[in-house]
Chain A
């Protein structure tokens, strides 16, 4: 399609799912099942088709630099100041980055919608479920397509809300509700940082510099960003660093990185397709997307980038180590997601933005596949516990084969998709020049260990669930069955994508074009071209590749040896390293630590303030009375009857007051009236202080 024509249809990409959500949300109960499915699936399919059309329209533009389509819907905010006017539009931007993201969101989203038809079969809340799912798709598309930071923030909050709603979808179970709550609060902590970053950015660019930046749109921000370097440092940190770190705090919340990752494993309480779509393929990658989108900002601050890379690498290793000990199949996959997101952050942290997005795409394929496969298993075995599965290979061949593809992809075995993207990230890390010398090599080592662990825990998962004997009891074994076609269909398609998806980003050593890297280049153009290509010897690249394949192979072999060849060994090892296992199994007790450090003190403080009013007032009254008595004794005014009476009156009042507050009787008018007088004293003290 012609790009200029397409501009007029751009808004339909997010709007279609919104319309679907509105119809299903309002009329869902009255519409028939078929109509609900048709609307939900049709709207997402429609925006997928439009996304493809948008992608083709972009490609049809010859010059890569000109691949930008901006569509302004209406003016949202207008503030006319003295130095210039400030306005923010509701506008959508289609460029290579948002186009790729749109394809992933609507494409993977569509398959998950199809899968949901089978998975949610017979659930009474289906209309509500699809309405939420469509609403989520809408919010995610707004996030991705937004042309300015504020609109992106709207989408950012929107996906959080939908995630919260979907985690708590089966709200009759208390744990699910708690998990929804936890996700909500962890995200609020992160969003606070995001918002601070946003405000600081706005403030330094628009207000403090006196420079009238017209809007927060990316195009203008990119032009104005160098101005940030002139701003005065705050607390020894340059302004871009602070902004980037604050925004990254938002990313750690949304994308479940250290230290705000705690909500994601609990979020697995929601329906499995939701885990696949929101908590694996799309929403949790929003943080990575945000950093890539603002790459021009992050490039101003090597410190912030190094922090991003370090947090990413540590999360990758840390979460992988927890995944080894978990027995709930979805929890294993959740920690795996956290770990893989860590790789993406590692990638963008070392300025390999295209590699980060590449891994985001391949991860969307294979992790969605893993989750959907897990859903299929849970559907059949009616449990999340892998210890009660086993030998499912024979009963569910389609699920098994597709799961194996995803397994090979995530483990990093060539030529499956995960290999290429993860390898590109590790290669870029090895060659990265970060804020501290040698940090790149160190992070590479951490990443490599994480890759080995990944292969190990995935092997464990595959062997325990698919091989050996079924351990769920005879009655359950009879009911084992392959899932319906609406579920296996998406599995097969995602398996194909996971198998061949890696070829869109071939490494430089093959001398074949890196399609995704080239496509994204205008958005993430680096100083001196993409850092990971060309400048290093092919031997080094091949060598590193071999090392990472070896790590993966070692992980797989170890997993196979421990869980298949010598199945008695893991138990013995667990016995031997009982304490270590307990620590890892309990996720390093981070949840407990957060509870002690943050949750309980706040509750304790709030309990105290319930009585704060009267407690403090009591204390002040007593102090005043004592002071008055001392002063009057010192001056020798006791003889004066009037003063004496007054002092006595006050003293009486104080005793009277104290007597009652000691019994903590509240709700008495005369106490309230005392508070007026005390309030005046407080105000007077304030006058003295200020």
Chain B
């Protein structure tokens, strides 16, 4: 089972879990974690393709390193926003953030 398909399946599962996580969880932190899962699924894809398909072995790895960087930045920014919002809401339950609507 050491083939490209295995990796791709794992990535697809990870992506789906992340997707459902974002949808199901009400905690902002858990939602952020789920989004990271989706990004990691893409990373796994890149690495698998680099190993099995690409003529240039470096591209996918560079890609993954940069995705990790971006993900970290994303989390930092999202957390900053969540904390500032927490001062108002006193909760991290996203249900409560619904002043803007219509």
Contact = CB atoms under 8 A, between A and B. Distances in A.
Given a CB threshold of 8 Å, the question of whether A touches B is answered with yes
Interface of A: 610, 646, 649, 652-653, 665-670, 673-674, 677
Contacts of A649: 20, 24
Q: A652, A665, A666, A673 — which one has the most chain B CB atoms within 10 A of its CB? A: A673
Contacts of A646: 20
A665 B98 contact: yes
A127 B41 CA distance: 70
Give the top 8 A-B pairs by smallest Cβ distance, nearest first.
A667-B101, A667-B98, A666-B101, A668-B98, A669-B94, A667-B100, A673-B22, A670-B94
Contact of B19 (A610, A652, A677): A677
A652 B24 contact: yes
A679 to B, nearest CB: 13
B6 to A, nearest CB: 18
Nearest to B25: A670
A677 B94 CA distance: 18
26 contacts: A646-B20, A649-B24, A653-B23, A653-B24, A665-B98, A665-B101, A666-B98, A666-B102, A667-B98, A667-B99, A667-B100, A667-B101, A668-B94, A668-B95, A668-B97, A668-B98, A668-B101, A669-B94, A670-B23, A670-B26, A670-B94, A670-B95, A673-B23, A674-B23, A677-B19, A677-B23
A668 B95 CA distance: 6
Given A646-B20, A667-B98, 5 more contacts: A649-B20, A652-B24, A665-B98, A666-B101, A668-B97
B66 to A, nearest CB: 24
B26 to A, nearest CB: 7
Interface string B81-102: 0000000000000110111111
A268 B94 CA distance: 57
Nearest to B101: A667
Nearest to B34: A673
Contacts of A653: 20, 23-24
Interface residues on B, range: 10 to 19
Interface majority SS on A: helix, strand, loop or mixed? helix
Interface string B61-96: 000000000000000000000000000000000110
Contacts of B99: 667
Q: A652, A669, A677 — which one has the most chain B CB atoms within 10 A of its CB? A: A669
A653 B26 CA distance: 11
Contacts of B22: 673
Nearest to B97: A669
Interface string B17-57: 00110111010000000000000000000000000000000
Contacts of A666: 98, 101-102
Contacts of A677: 19, 23
Nearest to A668: B98
Contacts of A652: 24
Contacts of A610: 102
Contact of A667 (B23, B24, B102): B102
A643 to B, nearest CB: 13
B35 to A, nearest CB: 10
Contacts of B95: 668, 670
Nearest to B95: A668
A646 B99 CA distance: 32
Interface in B1-23: 19-20, 22-23
Contacts of B98: 665-668
Contacts of A667: 98-102
A652 B102 CA distance: 25
A338 to B, nearest CB: 43
A677 B21 CA distance: 12
A666 B99 CA distance: 9
A162 B85 CA distance: 51
Nearest to A665: B98
Nearest to A650: B20
Contacts of B102: 610, 666-667
B33 to A, nearest CB: 14
A683 to B, nearest CB: 15
Contacts of A668: 94-95, 97-98, 101
Nearest to A674: B23
A673 to B, nearest CB: 6
A649 B16 CA distance: 12
Contacts of B24: 649, 652-653
Contacts of A670: 23, 26, 94-95
A667 B95 CA distance: 9
Contacts of A669: 94, 97
A677 B101 CA distance: 20
A622 to B, nearest CB: 16
A312 to B, nearest CB: 49
A8 B14 CA distance: 77
Contacts of B100: 667
A646 B101 CA distance: 30
A674 B94 CA distance: 14
A173 to B, nearest CB: 33
A653 B20 CA distance: 9
A86 B97 CA distance: 56
Nearest to B22: A673
A320 B56 CA distance: 85
B91 to A, nearest CB: 13
A673 B99 CA distance: 17
Nearest to B94: A669
A674 B21 CA distance: 11
Nearest to A664: B101
A665 B102 CA distance: 9
A646 B102 CA distance: 32
Contacts of A674: 23
A669 B94 CA distance: 7
Contacts of B19: 677
A653 B25 CA distance: 10
A440 B58 CA distance: 86
A537 to B, nearest CB: 75
A670 B98 CA distance: 10
A601 to B, nearest CB: 23
B29 to A, nearest CB: 14
A674 B95 CA distance: 14
A508 B58 CA distance: 95
A613 to B, nearest CB: 11
A649 B26 CA distance: 14
Nearest to B19: A677
Q: A649, A665, A670 — which one has the most chain B CB atoms within 10 A of its CB? A: A670
A122 to B, nearest CB: 47
B52 to A, nearest CB: 27
A652 B24 CA distance: 9
A649 B17 CA distance: 11
A615 B63 CA distance: 41
A681 B29 CA distance: 27
B93 to A, nearest CB: 10
Contacts of A673: 22-23
B12 to A, nearest CB: 14
A626 to B, nearest CB: 18
A667 B96 CA distance: 10
B89 to A, nearest CB: 12
